[in-house]
Structure 1
């Protein structure tokens, strides 16, 4: 007698396939116990998947919250490049060096630039024609129809990414009418802009101590009210020259980049910050939100009208601009700076339509190889 082979195994949840000549059996004709077992197994599989997804989500959230603490304590390792830069700081003084413009020569400036250290230059612009010449009345006469790009908004901090700041084009004369208007609400300014047609570059001559460098551009900055730029780094050398008003500049050397959360997120604006920007408020750091900033050493400089500041390439910096009270006497300009207590952000005037403007010029130069070698010295040899 031949043995019957068992039907092909279809799994515990599948009904036996009918043989040749046998009628098919509908699912409804299966026993209730078998149907219930199938449903229970499907539910169990879905519950296991949901539990796994929940576990992954909780793990991601916990890691994002604990990551700054783990990095700061050294439990979580950083990249070799970050570790190397953290151990090889630039040899810059804790306080930014200051020198009178009349005493500054090419040799001294080259040595400072080679070390990639900032330099406060006092009185550089006081002999420039633009220092007394570039009034709003002069701008109306020479370049009133020149097109310019301006920014306007209610916020005074981190204007680069907040959606309430609007950008628009207008004629220079329209900007001059609006930015000094008593009816203006918020901050209005013309960010770094190439010199409008009609302005003479000879009014803001290239500093003599930079004669060995070829400039890339010279740009004008004009505004009224309070303004604080988002911390960022530039790939060029910058000579910031203050013609009117005051600026408070806070800088961080590039070797401390790891503590500044570059390319992070500006939570208020809900946008990603570009990699050469930092979401940290340099002037009022939030150490709870950004605990790594406690490791940073800030270099501060207060620029008055006529002063200049050399900002080396790749240095992070944030600039807070304020107007000053100007009095005209016999055609010569005298400025009296009214500083505001910044212990609390509410002490800062969000807009001062009755106060005068803030005017500056930037000379931009390409970064020399000496600076790049100074910052990243030895990286190639150490294969970092």
Structure 2
């Protein structure tokens, strides 16, 4: 390999990581990897060697034997390789077999003990490590995992956004919660961020839209699972692409510039952004005024012995605001999230003023 894996992200955008969800057989790994490599559109090969499954008796990966197959794929294509590791032994075996990139999976990132075990195993190495977001929406766990690895002397680091577990029906397998990935990009702008649309979507027909959205938000790369025969895959068959379909998705992505060089365009965007800033200032002032009114309501409730939470009133607000928002082109889901945030802040303000009144009485 002519360049270090992490350096690829400085040379190309987007970097495409692809390969089977799970290594199943030597033939499957080699055929999938050599086929997608021939397209010239894939930069890094991936394959699951150890598969953490929710329930026992599911396919949990072929283990160390699969590393030999991935090594052969690397030799055949000249492309670097990446696998998920979850403990000390995984790290040892992956590095022993020449794997170029290790990634920490979502189920591991959620456990600081496991992350620390991996960090300790990597001390003294020059490994490249990418960290997936934790399975649930906790940005501090994601940050903490990054800090633990950096504390072990690992400097070639990357982040993978694969969405977050959710309850109830949704179009996505894992909720993207884009704002959390954007916050990690804000905190660590120098660290490459890759989106994993396969795990966000859980099904093929959404992959292009999510991939495009990630690129529009200036993600550095995409991790898209591919399989020579997805319908017969031993894991996650609905989200894996054939090599041909992978090529079609990549060809149809629009890669926009993260920076502006055209002076007229820059001036126009600057003007529009100034308008956004003014509107945001007005919104913040209005929210401040709203909280002052909420505090007055809290005092009235305190004097009359009324509970802070009035369920019927809250349902009326949601219904009315959702209809008003619809007229302004705002989705109901956004309005509910927005109103919930305001409602929680209002309750806290009312609690604070009621408690303060009690203290003043004492």
Shared fold, TM over 0.5:
no
Q: TM-score, normalised by structure 2?
A: 0.22
Question: Which structure carries more helix by proportion?
Answer: 2
Higher alpha-carbon Rg: 1
Question: Which structure carries more strand by proportion?
Answer: 1
Identify which of structures 1 and 2 has the higher relative contact order when contacts are C-alpha pairs closer than 8 Å and 6+ apart: 1
Q: TM-score, normalised by structure 1?
A: 0.21
